[in-house]
Structure 1
Amino acid sequence: MQFLDFEKPLEELYAQMDKLKDMAAKNQVDVSATIRELEASIEKTRTQLYENLTPWQRVQLSRHPERPYTLYYIEKIFTEFTELYGDRQVKDDKAMVGGMAKLNGMPVMVIGQQKGINTKMRQMRNFGMANPEGYRKALRLMKMAEKFNHPIITFIDTPGAYPGLEAEERGQGEAIARNLFEMVNLKVPVICVIIGEGASGGALGIGIGDKVAMLENTWYTVISPENCSTILWRSWDFKVKAAEQLRLTSKDMKGFNLVDDVVKEPLGGAHAKPEEMAVTLKEYLIKSINELTPIDAEQRIEDRIEKFSKMGFYDEVPVS
């Protein structure tokens, strides 16, 4: 179990628990009463820590190394998943995964960014930062789903689209822009869920849907707190302040009407009880598809366009 810096009190309690269990095993003594007291103390401390998380703490939770990624949810939520590869132009992008599956017996197309569960896999998956071919693969699969009239589900978890020179040479901006245009006009239901990090165009490239949801401890904004801090203050030292100013939490996004729903996570974050999180997310997806399926395709497109056209607000400052 890995602990974040703000979870230090929990780490100390778990350390006490481990020592107590070791002592009980070596000396053959009954410490069950003390263990129960420690367990109660752990739950109380966890509740206190998670009652009022700061924006930066939620950013940390979204990046927790034990947090479930796209392939975990695919395994736990769907059946008969068949992964599809390649964009038919350059190559297969391992940062973007997708394929046909069944959700509660219903055929769907599921697509998402995958970061990797260890150092080797993270390098292979490019830390979830897709190249243009990743977004073109995603669009190819979406068009396939539209052809067969299957709903589309996307899982968003990326620190951003890959910013390398080769990606720009192959049309990173065009690939993302093309996805925005095409996703708005898809005739099938589209549900997008931010399961971790939702940064910039990298997230938006698979983020245009009839329903856009965020898990409770995720973030969604145009730039990461670290990069925002670097631009504004020429240092990463102000990342905590940047996270506050960016208003990037699920609560903020819901308040701005930039997302439709916030899916509650188990106490301690999705990584604390990943199977419970998968069950909750599955229920949300089934409910959303059942709501969207009866709507006429053309009406769905009109509603989608209207929803995204209304996003954003501004203030006018009078000129003196």
Structure 2
Amino acid sequence: MSQTRVINGPHLRTPRTTRNVMMHVTISLIPALLGAIYYFGIQALYLSGLSVAVCVLTEYIWQKITKKQVTAGDFSAVVTGLLLAFNMPVTVPVWALVAADVFSILVVKQMFGGIGNNFVNPALMGRLLVMVAWPAAVMQYVVPRTVSVDAVSAATILGTAKSGAETGYSYLQMFLGEMPGAMGETSKLLLLIGFAYMCYKKIVNAEAAVTYIGTVTILTFIFGPDGLFTGDILLNLFGGGLIMGGCYMLTDYAFASRKGKLIYAAVAGIITAAIRIFSVYPEGICFGILTANCMAGMLSVLYKKHVYGMKKKEA
């Protein structure tokens, strides 16, 4: 009787855990949270806190009911709650935000097996739900308190630009966050500070973020209609949620290889740019990244992984 020899493969050990990673992501979002409070008032803090509480509580209750391991303390629900709040205007009704929170955690995340098993970004799906079901609830943007204007509500920079009107805001104002928009996406400076922290902690793939942002800006620069994006890279870069999407919403953990991550980011960028150029929507980030999420399985066949311990021609 022949015997089968089992050889254990090498294992990489690291102190990094899901809780550790998500805790650092939460820390990286603090500058943007402080910016939201500064620009839009204490209501931004209330909504962000509520969103986090609902996400964590929903995850805890579901795992208790289904008798699964409780992971509500791993900070992943905290990150989802913050990102959901950051993608909403400060005028969002509480019920709409709560509905997005419950949907993101319960349907998108937990019903697919929890963290690591959901095939799309839960926060973006929650945003999409509210945007499609109750568009008026997430389209009422306000001008930051630091901007001296008479208007209280206003369209986003990209929405104004796409309509052919003058934006009325300088590039510096867009970069700092002194413009109408969602609570956490307006200040590009604070988002980049948080992103730099994640890069320092080596918990994010900077190449994927740069690829996504670069793809969108280059394509809209070349093919965008006159008067909107053509010749105005800074408007396209700072006028919307592109920095937020590339640095925080682009989920690239589905791919282990560098090539796979870059292909995924480029495809998301192409879809986002196409929506910005050809559709009635001025942003396209939500649709672009979510579509790339759904295409992850198909995209994985575009490259061949190298199996550890084998020559590349045999892999």
TM over 0.5: no
Shorter-chain TM-score bucket reads under 0.3
Query: TM-score, normalization: structure 1?
Result: 0.26
Q: Give the structure with the higher percent helix.
A: 2
